[in-house]
Amino acid sequence: MASVAGSSTLMASLSCHKPNQALTRASNFNAVSLAINGKSFTSLKLYSAPSRLRISCAAKPETVDKVCGIVRKQLALPEDSAVTGESKFASLGADSLDTVEIVMGLEEEFGISVEEESAQTIATVQDAADLIEKLIEKK
């Protein structure tokens, strides 16, 4: 049961460790069913605050830009095509081999090593940028 001060509850439940889920859940209205005094109110729409959450966990814009550049190059996308942090690799037309080529490009650009196991967590450009900064920090 969520309280009316629901945005804080929602934010607490959205974890930085799963950026995918955070973006997916936070970018839509969250329809929450509340039970107040035994009555249930459905379709109360709460804005969770995605931008606040993302800034505290997210990679620097320069990192995101570099990732966008590598993605554009790999997928041979025209300069004016929309590639942002929220872009999903699959939606940009990356197949499995493209995705691994992109990861290899990121390894070389940033001097990091991305375990194959981590590749599954990367669905968007933002995911990749966040992982890169985490790996750079560990070095």
Choose the binding region for other proteins from 35-43, 60-68, 98-106, 124-132 (rule: CB under 8 A).
98-106
Burial-class residue 3 by CB neighbours within 10 Å (0-12, 13-18, 19+). Answer: exposed
Query: Cβ of residue 94: shortest distance to other proteins, in angstroms?
Result: 10
Residue 49, token pair as written in the block: 């605050």
CA distance 24 to 50: 10
How many chain residues touch other proteins (CB under 8 A)?
21
List 30, 105, 109, 112, residue binding other proteins (CB under 8 A):
105
Q: Which residues are marked as active site?
A: 95
CA distance 1 to 110: 44
Place of tokens 């969250």: 30
Choose the binding region for other proteins from 5-13, 34-42, 44-52, 99-107 (rule: CB under 8 A).
99-107
List 2, 34, 100, 112, residue binding other proteins (CB under 8 A):
100
Q: Does 112 bind other proteins (CB under 8 A)?
A: no
Q: Return the number of the residue (64 or 106) whose C-beta is nearest other proteins.
A: 106
Choose the binding region for other proteins from 10-18, 29-37, 41-49, 97-105 (rule: CB under 8 A).
97-105
Burial-class residue 117 by CB neighbours within 10 Å (0-12, 13-18, 19+). Answer: exposed
Give Cα separations from 111 to 7, 8, 47, 59, 85 (angstroms). Answer: 38, 37, 38, 16, 21
Question: Measured on CA atoms in the order 111, 115, 121, 122, is the torsion positive or negative?
Answer: positive
Window 8 to 67, contacts with other proteins (CB under 8 A): none
Residues that bind other proteins (CB under 8 A): 73-74, 81-82, 91-93, 95-97, 100-101, 104-105, 107, 115-120
